[in-house]
A and B are shown apart, each in its own frame.
Chain A
């Protein structure tokens, strides 16, 4: 039963600020994902939690225990690395047993717990192998077993699936989710892969330039992003400028944009899959580009001075000709973006 409290943690390297006072609370058994582009500070935050990097200021607690001044070996935090970081000179069993051995747990008990942990990741048969004899996926499962066998208060994942090929990544991602649920460990998962974040997390924190810019459950964050950065980083979206006419917010093609929000909003987000496209000799849109992606067809459509991405899926979707006139309609009410919009995504100006 552990909750993690991070308060005002900041870190600079030389003249560069990696983290601006970040605060974050993770509930017991919660799976939180830090999502952001490389260089956003997510790995730095993770290393600070693990004790590998020292923060300039701020505090970290697990329940009521302050850990920010403790060396890594006394924090009881499990860490799974992108590079696996297995000990190459030790067998799989010795790797998994290392943490228990360091805790002075009797040999017989170590053996039993190592065996149980290896069964958990389906690697019981490979206990006597060395890491080099294992595939990348197997190595990462060993690393996972090694991290959970010590029963950490908090389990940290630093882009653990980034070195694996796509198919294996999806499979291991599902396994990881099941395992975390089963063990009920409080977990923080760092990734730059938005699909991974949405598939795994109870809550996603979007990071940018050393700050958490937005957070929320995957569904809410995807469907109702507050910031343009989150809207564009999670999946693809169209950020569309809105103009007011007689107090009515209008989309560039003079469709009534949305009803529910204040007139302060000047941009909306509309996902490519939320736009319906039908051929119409009258326009007002024109197909500028077509990409066939197998499961879906993605079109770029110029309309009212902007260019929108439209995605249609299913095997029945027609592949439009470039230059074909089309009509667009929003399937849902476009979602207003509150702030952080400095430049409109507009091809009319370009």
Chain B
């Protein structure tokens, strides 16, 4: 039997490479951002504990709206993408003619950078864009889709990028379901829709949740696409962070904003782990 101290020391040394890496490159920057929000170790400013940055963040209308807008840009494009990728993943799971080609084509947006996607949307849907010019002769006048109040352009560009990504993850989850289970549901009297709702979705839920959260967190911090295609007001917090950092040199406020964005993401992540934990107990060995 190894002594308690030696055992613990050995464990600590073994954990050090992975744990140390995480602490150094993940924990420390987060900690600095967190402290910076309270005026401690702030870049390019005298340090001293203060709540001023948070007072400004929550006390300024534009920032409050920005926070809501960032959350909106995380939730809405994610929901839109999910509503498209879930049926797409189910359709792709079935065998059909041209399967190989389609399986390749739908992934194309994955390799196109977000900024390029934004410019594609702009070329297509801006006033005087391709879509408007194509539809004008038949009397259809497109509403304002770029830099509009509801950020439709942002939603289109984000969904264009996110749909293949989510389809890939959800498709993997759906594909892992034993086909006998689906056949069993059908012979027991469930039609295709009931099988989808009662069997496929619950069993693919870990994948669906993962796809949802990854897209959600990406949307929280999105900068380029909302900056190009989003409305003039409100601006998402990410754009405010850029302005405050590089135009106003107010790193304390930037830290506070980053901390709030991270906190929202972390809260969503915790909710995710809670959800998957209860799913794990429900599915047991079958959980993926």
| Interface residues, chain A, with chain B CB atoms under 8 Å away | 47, 50-52, 71-73, 75, 77-79, 81-83, 85-89, 98-99, 102-103, 130-133, 143, 146, 150
Our pick among A75, A79, A103 for the contact of B184 (Cβ within 8 Å) is A79
Contacts A83-B178, A130-B282, A132-B284 given: A73-B184 contact, CB under 8 Å?
Answer: no
Q: Which chain B residues (194-235) contact chain A, with CB distance < 8 Å?
A: 194, 198-199, 202-203
Complex contacts, A52 vs chain B, CB 8 Å: 183, 186-187
Interface membership of B285, Cβ < 8 A: yes
| Main secondary structure on B side of the interface with A | helix
Q: Quick check: A81 and B180 within 8 Å, CB to CB?
A: yes
Interface membership of B46, Cβ < 8 A: no
Q: Which chain B residues (3-40) contact chain A, with CB distance < 8 Å?
A: none
Q: Quick check: B284 and A72 within 8 Å, CB to CB?
A: no
Interface membership of B190, Cβ < 8 A: yes
Complex contacts, A85 vs chain B, CB 8 Å: 178, 180-181, 183-184
**Minimum distance in angstroms from B278 CB to a CB of chain A:** 11
Contacts A89-B283, A130-B282, A132-B285 given: A83-B187 contact, CB under 8 Å?
Answer: no
**Minimum distance in angstroms from A66 CB to a CB of chain B:** 18
Q: Quick check: A89 and B203 within 8 Å, CB to CB?
A: yes
**Minimum distance in angstroms from B224 CB to a CB of chain A:** 40
Contacts A83-B178, A88-B283, A89-B203 given: A99-B189 contact, CB under 8 Å?
Answer: yes
Interface residues on B, range: 20 to 34
Minimal Cβ-Cβ distance residue in A for B177: A88
**Can you report 17 residue pairs joining A to B where beta carbons are below 8 Å apart?**
A51-B187, A52-B183, A72-B183, A79-B183, A79-B184, A81-B180, A81-B184, A82-B180, A85-B184, A86-B181, A87-B199, A88-B181, A99-B189, A102-B188, A132-B283, A132-B286, A143-B184
**Minimum distance in angstroms from A42 CB to a CB of chain B:** 16
**Minimum distance in angstroms from B178 CB to a CB of chain A:** 6
Bitwise interface map of B from 252 to 288 toward A, beta carbon under 8 Å scored 1, else 0: 0000000000000000000000000001001111100
Q: Quick check: A98 and B185 within 8 Å, CB to CB?
A: yes
Our pick among A73, A82, A87 for the contact of B186 (Cβ within 8 Å) is A73
Complex contacts, B283 vs chain A, CB 8 Å: 88-89, 130, 132
Complex contacts, B202 vs chain A, CB 8 Å: 89
Contacts A79-B184, A130-B284, A132-B285 given: A102-B203 contact, CB under 8 Å?
Answer: no
Minimal Cβ-Cβ distance residue in A for B194: A102
Q: Quick check: B203 and A73 within 8 Å, CB to CB?
A: no
